[in-house]
Amino acid sequence: MPDQPQPPALVVAARESGLIDQLVRRVVETPWWKTALAGGAVLGGMVLAASRIGKRVDVLSTNPGEMLSGVVYEDGETGWVEDLGDGTFRIANVPMAPINMDDVVTLVEVGGRPTVDKVVRRVFTKKAGIHLEDASEKAFRRLARAFRKKGWKLEGSTPGFALLAHDGSERPERVARGIGVEITVEPLRLR
């Protein structure tokens, strides 16, 4: 059997990061970048090629809309991006780093890992840490529903704390008070 080509540093780093390697089940077909992932998510078709640190990541995918995990946002924080098919990516969660949900960014390879380079377009101009006095799932869902009606996005995994991406059209405290949920808002900086 002929030797299989080795995946580039980006794929190796994604597997070693602990995020992808838990999901990768088996290679579906050659070439190596077409993989089946547990839970129905598909990384296949996402080809990232960057030969030097700091060089722009070229996206050769013909499948816009596919997700890539393990992308470094800043200071080791990683998350998901969606391939927009034109060499740009959409941030797919609300990170602690000074970028925001739905920001359109470019990527570079740094230390063998895909890393956010520049924000090309910003959707939400504000970001805040939200502390809920009532840390119940019910209060979180009510708050998320109220913010969603405003077009904002709330994401949280720690009881009583969430991150909000919003446009600044109204104060989040006021929206929360309007539905009977008490919150404290901590503004977070963006690049």
* Radius of gyration of the chain measured on its C-alpha atoms: 19
- What 3 state SS string does 121-174 have? ECCCCEEEEEEECCCCHHHHHHHHHHHHHCCCEEEEEECCEEEEEECCCCCHHH
State both tokens at 67.
């997700």
The residue range of the domain holding 51 is 9-121
Q: pLDDT band at residue 66, thresholds of 50, 70 and 90?
A: confident
Task: Assess whether 78 and 41 both reside in one domain.
Answer: yes
Give the residue from 92, 121, 150 where a domain finishes.
121
* pLDDT value of position 58: 44
Phi and psi at 122, nearest 5°, equal -110, 130
The count of domains in the chain is 2
Confidence of residue 3 (pLDDT cuts 50, 70, 90): low
pLDDT above 90 covers what percent of the chain?
52
What are the two backbone dihedrals, phi and then psi, of residue 147, each rounded to the nearest 5 degrees?
-70, -40
The pTM of the whole model exceeds 0.85: no
Query: Rounded distance, CA 67 to CA 90, Å?
Result: 9
* pLDDT tens, position by position, 125-145: 999 999 999 999 999 999 999
The answer to whether residues 45 and 67 belong to one domain is yes
pLDDT at 116: 94
Q: 178 and 103, same structural domain?
A: no
Q: Give the separation between CA 60 and CA 19, rounded to whole angstroms.
A: 22
Residue 130 in domain: yes
From 4-13, 15-24, 116-125, the region with the lowest mean pLDDT: 15-24
Q: Are residues 82 and 43 in the same domain?
A: yes
Q: Are residues 154 and 181 in the same domain?
A: yes
**Residue 76 domain-assigned (yes or no):** yes
Residue 159 near residue 122, CB atoms below 8 Å: no
Per the domain annotation, does 4 fall within a domain? Answer: no
For the cut 80, the answer to whether the pLDDT of residue 19 exceeds it is: no
Segment 68-77 mean pLDDT: 88
Residue 183, domain CATH: 3.30.70.790
Q: Of 21-25, 78-82, 154-158, 173-177, which gets the smallest average pLDDT?
A: 21-25
Cβ-based neighbours of 183, under 8 Å, separated by 6 or more:
130, 131, 132, 133, 143, 172, 173, 176
